[in-house]
């Protein structure tokens, strides 16, 4: 399976990170990275839950 992350989805992730950044910039970066990693992992395991 191939996962495609659209420009709109990337923008949404960065907007979410921007809302966290004023309070904790390190967490904002890790938040975005973790979400992207989870999305990309769906290619290998499409039934993976969000709590894995």
Domain that holds residue 42: 1-52
43/18 Cα distance (integer angstroms) = 27
Residues near 38 by beta carbon (within 8 Å), at least 6 away in sequence = 48, 50
φ, ψ at 11 (rounded to 5°): -60, -45
pTM: 0.71
Contact indicator for 37, 48 with CB cutoff of 8 Å: no
Provide the domain count of the chain.
Answer: 1
- pLDDT tens, residue by residue, 15-27: 999 999 999 999 9
Q: Percent of the chain beyond pLDDT 90?
A: 62
As given in the structure block, the two tokens for residue 6 are: 């659209």
Residue 36 burial (10 A CB sphere; 0-12, 13-18, 19+): middle
């Amino acid at each position: 399976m191939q996962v495609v992350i659209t420009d709109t989805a990337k923008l949404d992730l960065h907007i979410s990170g921007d809302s966290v950044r004023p309070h904790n910039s390190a967490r904002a970066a890790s938040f975005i990275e973790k979400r992207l990693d989870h999305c990309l992992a769906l290619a290998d395991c499409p039934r993976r839950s969000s709590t894995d």
